[in-house]
Structure 1
Amino acid sequence: MLALRSTAGAVARRARTTAGRFPSSSARTLPKAAASVALTHRRAYSTPSTDNFHTRSTVVQLLSNIGSKREVQQYLSHFTSVSSQQFAVIKVGGAIITEHLESLTSALAFLNHVGLFPVVVHGAGPQLNKLLEDAGVEPQFEEGIRVTDGKTLAVARKLFLEENLKLVEKLEEMGVRARPITSGVFSADYLDKEKYNLVGKINQVNKDPIQAAINAGCLPILTSMAETPDGQVLNVNADVAAGELARALQPLKIVYLSEKGGLFNADTNEKISAINLDEEYETLMSQWWCRYGTRLKIKEIKDLLDGLPRTTSVAIIHPADLQKELFTDSGAGTLIRRGNKLSTASTISDFEDLQKLKDVLVRDREGLDARATVDRYVEGLKSREFKAYFDEPLDALAIVLPPSSSSSLANLAAFTITKSGWLTNVADNVFASIKKDHPKLVWTVKEDDENLTWFFDKADGSLSKDGEVMFWYGIENGDEVKELMTEFTRHGRSMLGDANLEARLHRAAQAASNGLSASAKQHNAPKTQQARAFSTSTRRPVSKSSQRIISRQFASSSRGYATTTNPNPPFGQKNSSNTQPAKVALIGARGYTGQALISLLNSHPNMDLRHVSSRELAGQKLKGYDKRDITYENLTPEDVRRMEDKGEIDCWVMALPNGVCKPFVDAVEAGNGKQNSVIVDLSADYRFDSKWTYGLPELVTRSDIAKATRISNPGCYATAAQLGIAPLVPFLSGQPTIFGVSGYSGAGTKPSPKNDIENLKNNIIPYSLTDHIHEREISTQLGAEVAFIPHVAVWFQGIHHTISIPLKETMTSRDIRQLYQERYAGEKLVKISGEPPSVKNISGKHGVEIGGFGVHSSGKRVVVCATIDNLLKGAATQCLQNMNLSLGFAEYEGIPLD
């Protein structure tokens, strides 16, 4: 607790950035050091001895190099509080054995030499694929499960025994006794004999061989093979075997060793530090980037943890970082746990059990008057505004006093966490919720609090005086920080319910905001000031457009939520912070694209079209828009600047021909809005300007679009071509060739041979055979040179691409189709089909359809087909996606989804 002190002996569990931190090079070599220490101690750890004690002590000291001794001892005590086989189940993939055997065995040796016995189960998938390939057998998979015939099983069984022995022998070389367990643990039935043949579904786990190995002082090393009651050996996926083993043993930790070292947020390319399933599973699964293997892995882990004790957690980690993940607050991989859902209260009556609340507040209070002090404190809360955060068992409780009328600072008045709460990371969850509700916060902690480093990680700045440390975050004004520090150094002291301290903090903030003279604010920093006292970062002012899209911001420096960072809501969900319709102006509305966009805006619940500009149609009534009566105007750049100065428009859409919109863009940027309004340009004028964001949401990071105020809408040909090629860019051996054919609406409304129906009848017209602007656009965005040959045909709207793509490695049609399905899984406007798509089926639709996937007999060239409606996803629909993202609405709002 802050005013009541933090729990004695508590451990600050896993405070760090969402991206994660890897240990230093010295930390990475630690397991080897631990193993070398233990080479002379080959006896089983089931028998206590002085040598064992010294070995353990030495390894603990080594481990303290990557964490505090308190962390090490606390977690070690936690892990040894259960029976040996309940410490951890570790799943080892085949690639880890092949590529990282040294790191793996060093990590296992380290755990064993501190007296821990993880149960290891391994696979050998990559090795099996290679053996089958060398034998001329093509691996077959159905729904991700390997179809296993007799020949495959024979190869697999021999391989699994070899890999098991390789791991056991390596451990023995390092002074660790290990026992191979290749049968007798997993009993199984056929999963689906007709479909998968010799693949098993585990129905029973026999723990006796595992316990016998541990009793003998050996690490149990299991293969993932199972047997039927009549003795038939069956193949079982190693992940599945590890899950069933965990269900039987109910360990504290389930560890998946991974070459990547964790799960990653594909939006930010940052490692996900922690996932609290009870709090954020639904939100996480709605994220656009949570797909493919990441989505499947999270779902499988949730299903597993739902049937295990709440104390069990899953870690996905590289073997070299295993010790840091298990024994330090910061961790190193991705930690997944169920967690506890948090509740909030704003009145004392919201607590069902008032006495339990008092008991929680008393549990850390020192002195004979503790209960009387708490009684007074609770009585005082009855008559004042506050917000409390707590979990169901009250392992964590925080009370925040909101800003007063004279201050912008909230005060964290109480913060109490039990040992269990720290270990299960409830502290991070509580603080994340606080930060979501309170953009500015100040609090104090005793200088000798053993969790002080955790609080440092939560704060933007701090100051120490007279045995206490004041922390804060969210204060962006340097003068405000100085005044806050002046008040603290002048008055100091933090006590339970100290209204004077809160009042002083509020007065300090108010004084700063009232703009005290610079001379009145000058002071010398006290000698006791910590190095981080002035660590508050300078941030640029938030623009109007940013204010519209700001959503919940969680503590970026804690192992709290996986769904952090983005200044926009989960994509596909409405941002609750933007409840006002956006005022839109359309410049250049005569063309087909302008008309299509007007139709979409007419049905959009949060877009308010205010002005439509067309020189040819000026004075006429706008048709197809029912929300208000609008008359076409002939807006000049001067009109645009005047409107921008007055803040009349939130989003300008430029639907003008190439080379025409610059004066209007300049007018917006010259206005007093200072680039606060959003501009979406449908022409090609800014597609190569690095200051503008290229607005193709399926391929460009959506958060970049959400933060942008200048967005260049991709071309119609270019959109379909990029989506049709992007998944294969890593496999290119040369230049893709794109044969594109568009309906004549793509030639615009100005009469020309390319939109003359009589000229197009029984005809197809090639044009701009080289160096078309879309050729440059596609090449630039993909980072790979392409050849593009456009044509126009007699239909009105819709584009067809036939794309020939050379490959640097042999691939099958099925491989490629699966690649596309995985790449665009969850994309609501991209459809993957086996057959080549047709133009007539895409006309009038809002997405892109990709199919065909015809592979040349060499396996080194594939032909992919893609279709798109050039007026919709090729222009207006994509424009609306970009408008939604940049204005803070759900990406697909107002877009009819088939």
Structure 2
Amino acid sequence: MLRLAVLNKPLVTATATRTGALRLTSRLRLRGGLLSKSVVANCSFSDYGNTSFVASSRSYSTKSTVVQLLNNIGSKREVEQYLKLFTSVSSQQFAVIKVGGAIITQQLDELASCLAFLYHVGLYPIVLHGTGPQINELLENEGVEPEYIDGIRITNPKTMQVVRKCFSEQNLRLVTALERIGVHSRPITAGVFQAEYLNKEKYDLVGKITGVNKSPIEAAITAGYLPILTSLAETPSGQLLNVNADVAAGELAREFEPLKIVYLNEKGGIINGSTGEKISIINLDEEYEDLMKESWVKYGTKLKIKEIHDLLQHLPRSSSVAIINVDDLQKELFTDSGAGTLIRRGYKLISRNSLKEFGNPDLLRSALLRDPEIKAGKSSVASYLKFLESVDFKSYGDEPLEVLAIVLNKDGKVPKLDKFLSSKTGWLNNVTDNIFNSIKKDFKSLCWIVDENDGNLAWYFSKSDGSFSKNGQILFWYGLKTSEVAELIKEFDNSAIGSSLSSGNESGVFSSSQQKRGFHSMKKRRRYATTTNPNPPLKEGKNHSKKKVALIGARGYTGQNLIKLIDTHPYLEISHVSSRELEGQKLKGYNKNNIVYSNLQPEDIKRLEENNEVDIWVMALPNGVCKPFVDVIDSVGNTNSTIIDLSADYRFDTSKNWVYGLPELNNRATIANAKKISNPGCYATAAQVAIAPLIDFIENGKPSIFGVSGYSGAGTKPSPKNDTELLANNLIPYSLTDHVHEREISSQLGQQVDFTPHVAQWFQGISHTINIPIKKGSLTSREIRNIYQDRYQGEQLITISGEAPLVKDISGKHGIVIGGFAVNSNEDRVVIVATIDNLLKGAATQCLQNINLSQGFGEYEGIPDDTVIRG
């Protein structure tokens, strides 16, 4: 498959030995010391995945570039296989990378670092750069207004002087930056593109490329240099002509037919001018004409899309172009998912309801031959075709049937996806997504069964609302009511639904028998599992009546933050605040009414409850103090008030009178109907949210949590844990075993954990570093991240990040950030980092969520909407 990635950042090319195998020659630091080692591409990437490249006599260590790659890839398997792909062609056919001029100005170091990585693993991209922003700046400095017609710069002789100067300067900047970090590169500013005038009267010195001289490029790569080109062209008589860099990159692609074409720009893709969102995929066959009519498609954007369209018409249909940001270069080159905007020709999708509608029976037979059962001789194409003649089905596929899906539609039954067969090309070009989206438009509900060792199991999880596992098979579904799910699971449990969906050996991109990405069976305690959020936020509440809140013990940090939130809440108001130390003082930070602290005793609370003067009681008291106040409220009898306890007193309640109020993990409807809600602990909230999605994959051990909190978690009462002088440049461990949050996390998850808390010198915010043991080889880092993204889809207060989050970024925010997702080299442990503000989502914000749910308000009412932290 030829996939072109168009980047506004440089592409990577492969350097091959004369025998065609890629050879990496570098000095590697391997445990014992320095060794000189040649690495051949067909060796495992793990051979050098954990090494540090040592660039002899160079001021720049390439270790940082290797780390940069490893932090962005989905798995070593992907990197290894793409390296094999890149080295399957001659070195000059690896990639063409077009670099936008703004990249050189704004991200030169990042660009050089990316190219250095490619260079040091033996890949030699053909790099061509533009210089548009620099030209405009120089022209403006000279009082010349840049002129364009149809997105093409009018280039008069004066402008050509500026163009030539800018190209020389920017080319030299990039070459110098590369040489400075030990990357041999060769500036090629002329002699590659032959041209004639595009339209001299209209554009002046602008060229139309008529030929490409490959010799300078091939000579540079053969000598071990990265070729760095400009888009200046020459007429046969030697007149320099300006050529759009995108156009020049396209001509290079036509000449070299590289595996990758990448356009790098600062935007990281094509932005929809109407919505402001980045376009993920453009299928030219279906979208090109309509796209070119859009009002925002003009100037350079219009020219870029047109040139890419024209380019792809002359390349294999499997080719594609990627427009990405320089920071996404490794992801585009070495992962299945890619990045930025992917542009491809695509195919129009065809649906059929009978075998007669297949014009080419041989094409259908070829697609069905991908079925593993047919390959293994357990079934035959003829028998399956005969079966289809007797049932009501609908098939979906692209024109060449790179992907074939067959849905069986039985009366009174949930429609079943019976076959989903795709070639490598179908998966790599995302035809599979298009097919599945087409199915979802026709079928509002669907089920399918997949073998647990299927190479694309994570993809199937991402398409489902839920799943159920049994005996090595996983049942998936979407669009079903709870009662329908129960019936479906019952049928599956009785083996009445049918066999596994056949996705084909080719469905796993670069799959092999040694590389299993399948999930293992769910454990008995959670046989019913979902990968999309099984407990989504409730619909916006409808209760808009004012509710009165009484805070018992409002002196502490949590009480202060809750007061601030209630002060801006449209449907809540404080009626009473109780604090022995602050009795008689005015409540600060509350502006709705003039409230004075009182010192409410149990008999006072009983009177208020009897007179229905309070709707919500919030117990913000130390552990062990709450019970007398709860008992006196209970003694009144049937009342409509709600109690929320912020202490740990009722987090382990077994009477079923109390509901544990962690909305993202516990049933929201149950919380909404509760009269007594126990607010989770701060450490416990972040830890549970961080561990819960992997609870069914834990094996051979238990999670270990290293938690560090700011000193506000120690409360306002003076102690060593909030002594700022003791904490200065210090970290204090405490409660080394059997901390109350260890018990809380373990009991709520149904999984024992080890937890060790610490307090640090910052004021608020918690950071958890969590080690989770998993089945060896069962999950990759990218699969784990996908599980978390699916599980917390729609959760406004949970952000999933590719990077390990920092505690300084969560302080003052109302959510949780989860990231890292690092899998160790033995592939049996994942490390996850979670951050939370202990005073907000760890206490006050969560309390407000529970208040909102219990009172029929929208769950996020009164919680600032600027709290989403981007991953």
TM-score normalized by structure 1? 0.49
Residues 188/344 of structure 1: CA separation in 2 closer, same or farther (3 Å cut):
same
Secondary structure, counterpart of 2:211 in structure 1? strand
Residues 496/11 of structure 1: CA separation in 2 closer, same or farther (3 Å cut):
farther
Partner Cα separation in structure 2 for residue 12 and residue 478 of structure 1: 43
Which structure would you say has the larger RCO, counting Cα contacts within 8 Å and 6 or more residues apart? 1
Partner Cα separation in structure 2 for residue 329 and residue 188 of structure 1: 38
How big is each residue's C-alpha offset from its partner over 1:826-852, in whole Å with a ceiling of 9 and x where there is no partner? Answer: xxxxxxxxxxxxxxxxxxxxxxxxxxx
Answer yes or no: is 1:447 the counterpart of 2:436: no
Of the three residues 412, 435, 439, the one matched with 1:406 is 412
Report how far residue 312 of structure 1 moved: 2.1
- Structure 2 counterparts to residues 558-569 of structure 1, below 5 A: none
Of the three residues 473, 477, 483, the one matched with 1:479 is 483
Residues 287/487 of structure 1: CA separation in 2 closer, same or farther (3 Å cut):
farther
How big is each residue's C-alpha offset from its partner over 1:610-631, in whole Å with a ceiling of 9 and x where there is no partner? Answer: xxxxxxxxxxxxxxxxxxxxxx
Q: Which residue in the other structure is 1:438 paired with? A: 443
Does the Cα contact within 8 Å between 1:38 and 1:175 map onto a contact in 2? no
How big is each residue's C-alpha offset from its partner over 1:245-294, in whole Å with a ceiling of 9 and x where there is no partner? Answer: 22222223221111111112344432211112123334544566656654
Partner Cα separation in structure 2 for residue 318 and residue 78 of structure 1: 23
Residues 341/62 of structure 1: CA separation in 2 closer, same or farther (3 Å cut):
same
Amino acid at match of 1:436: K
How big is each residue's C-alpha offset from its partner over 1:677-702, in whole Å with a ceiling of 9 and x where there is no partner? Answer: xxxxxxxxxxxxxxxxxxxxxxxxxx
Q: Which residue in the other structure is 2:421 paired with? A: 416
Answer yes or no: is 1:428 the counterpart of 2:433: yes
Residues 373/539 of structure 1: CA separation in 2 closer, same or farther (3 Å cut):
farther
Partner Cα separation in structure 1 for residue 485 and residue 263 of structure 2: 45
Report how far residue 367 of structure 1 moved: 7.3
Secondary structure, counterpart of 1:387 in structure 2? strand
Partner Cα separation in structure 1 for residue 3 and residue 187 of structure 2: 37
Residues 39/147 of structure 1: CA separation in 2 closer, same or farther (3 Å cut):
farther
Of the three residues 295, 300, 305, the one matched with 2:312 is 305
Q: Which residue in the other structure is 2:171 paired with? A: 164
Report how far residue 525 of structure 1 moved: 7.3
Secondary structure, counterpart of 1:311 in structure 2? coil
Residues 327/95 of structure 1: CA separation in 2 closer, same or farther (3 Å cut):
same
Amino acid at match of 1:321: D
Does the Cα contact within 8 Å between 1:13 and 1:329 map onto a contact in 2? no
Amino acid at match of 2:399: E
Residues 358/497 of structure 1: CA separation in 2 closer, same or farther (3 Å cut):
farther
Report how far residue 179 of structure 1 moved: 1.3
Does the Cα contact within 8 Å between 1:11 and 1:419 map onto a contact in 2? no
Answer yes or no: is 1:262 the counterpart of 2:262: no
Report how far residue 91 of structure 1 moved: 1.1
How big is each residue's C-alpha offset from its partner over 1:870-893, in whole Å with a ceiling of 9 and x where there is no partner? Answer: xxxxxxxxxxxxxxxxxxxxxxxx
Q: How many residues align?
A: 478
Residues 489/245 of structure 1: CA separation in 2 closer, same or farther (3 Å cut):
same
Does the Cα contact within 8 Å between 2:135 and 2:166 map onto a contact in 1? yes
Of the three residues 488, 491, 514, the one matched with 2:492 is 488
Partner Cα separation in structure 2 for residue 536 and residue 352 of structure 1: 46
Amino acid at match of 1:383: S
Does the Cα contact within 8 Å between 2:131 and 2:166 map onto a contact in 1? yes
Residues 364/250 of structure 1: CA separation in 2 closer, same or farther (3 Å cut):
same
Does the Cα contact within 8 Å between 1:339 and 1:425 map onto a contact in 2? no
Report how far residue 479 of structure 1 moved: 3.1
Secondary structure, counterpart of 2:254 in structure 1? helix
Structure 2: segments with no counterpart, 5+ residues: 6-23, 30-35, 52-64, 503-522, 541-871
Does the Cα contact within 8 Å between 2:4 and 2:261 map onto a contact in 1? no
Answer yes or no: is 1:238 the counterpart of 2:245: yes
Does the Cα contact within 8 Å between 2:186 and 2:220 map onto a contact in 1? yes
Report how far residue 117 of structure 1 moved: 1.9
Partner Cα separation in structure 2 for residue 203 and residue 431 of structure 1: 43
Answer yes or no: is 1:469 the counterpart of 2:474: yes
Report how far residue 414 of structure 1 moved: 0.3
Partner Cα separation in structure 2 for residue 306 and residue 259 of structure 1: 27
Amino acid at match of 1:415: F
- Structure 2 counterparts to residues 639-788 of structure 1, below 5 A: none
Report how far residue 358 of structure 1 moved: 3.2
Partner Cα separation in structure 2 for residue 175 and residue 235 of structure 1: 31
Secondary structure, counterpart of 2:128 in structure 1? strand
Partner Cα separation in structure 2 for residue 432 and residue 369 of structure 1: 30
How big is each residue's C-alpha offset from its partner over 1:774-830, in whole Å with a ceiling of 9 and x where there is no partner? Answer: xxxxxxxxxxxxxxxxxxxxxxxxxxxxxxxxxxxxxxxxxxxxxxxxxxxxxxxxx
Amino acid at match of 1:487: E
Q: Which residue in the other structure is 1:103 paired with? A: 110
Partner Cα separation in structure 2 for residue 231 and residue 153 of structure 1: 14
Residues 183/13 of structure 1: CA separation in 2 closer, same or farther (3 Å cut):
closer
Of the three residues 341, 344, 350, the one matched with 2:357 is 350
How big is each residue's C-alpha offset from its partner over 1:274-330, in whole Å with a ceiling of 9 and x where there is no partner? Answer: 112123334544566656654443333212211222232111111011111222233
Residues 539/350 of structure 1: CA separation in 2 closer, same or farther (3 Å cut):
farther
Does the Cα contact within 8 Å between 1:177 and 1:217 map onto a contact in 2? yes
Secondary structure, counterpart of 2:372 in structure 1? coil
Q: Which residue in the other structure is 1:527 paired with? A: 526
Q: Which residue in the other structure is 1:219 paired with? A: 226
Q: Which residue in the other structure is 2:461 paired with? A: 456
Residues 539/378 of structure 1: CA separation in 2 closer, same or farther (3 Å cut):
farther
Residues 135/218 of structure 1: CA separation in 2 closer, same or farther (3 Å cut):
same
How big is each residue's C-alpha offset from its partner over 1:213-266, in whole Å with a ceiling of 9 and x where there is no partner? Answer: 111222111011111111122222212211222222222322111111111234
Partner Cα separation in structure 2 for residue 366 and residue 76 of structure 1: 31
Report how far residue 390 of structure 1 moved: 2.0
Structure 1: segments with no counterpart, 5+ residues: 1-9, 15-36, 499-523, 542-898
Amino acid at match of 1:428: D
Answer yes or no: is 1:204 the counterpart of 2:211: yes
Amino acid at match of 1:535: P
Partner Cα separation in structure 1 for residue 150 and residue 102 of structure 2: 21
Report how far residue 78 of structure 1 moved: 2.8
Partner Cα separation in structure 1 for residue 158 and residue 299 of structure 2: 30
Partner Cα separation in structure 2 for residue 132 and residue 382 of structure 1: 71
Residues 371/465 of structure 1: CA separation in 2 closer, same or farther (3 Å cut):
closer
- Structure 2 counterparts to residues 763-842 of structure 1, below 5 A: none
Does the Cα contact within 8 Å between 2:3 and 2:260 map onto a contact in 1? no
Q: Which residue in the other structure is 1:121 paired with? A: 128
Of the three residues 38, 41, 48, the one matched with 1:49 is 38
Amino acid at match of 1:49: S
Secondary structure, counterpart of 1:230 in structure 2? coil
Q: Which residue in the other structure is 1:820 paired with? A: none
Does the Cα contact within 8 Å between 1:313 and 1:337 map onto a contact in 2? yes
Secondary structure, counterpart of 1:265 in structure 2? coil
- Structure 2 counterparts to residues 112-191 of structure 1, below 5 A: 112-191=119-198
Q: Which residue in the other structure is 1:894 paired with? A: none
Does the Cα contact within 8 Å between 2:175 and 2:186 map onto a contact in 1? yes
Amino acid at match of 2:334: F
Report how far residue 374 of structure 1 moved: 3.5
Q: Which residue in the other structure is 2:402 paired with? A: 395
Amino acid at match of 2:447: V
Does the Cα contact within 8 Å between 1:13 and 1:424 map onto a contact in 2? no
Partner Cα separation in structure 2 for residue 102 and residue 315 of structure 1: 22
Partner Cα separation in structure 1 for residue 109 and residue 375 of structure 2: 56
Does the Cα contact within 8 Å between 1:444 and 1:470 map onto a contact in 2? yes
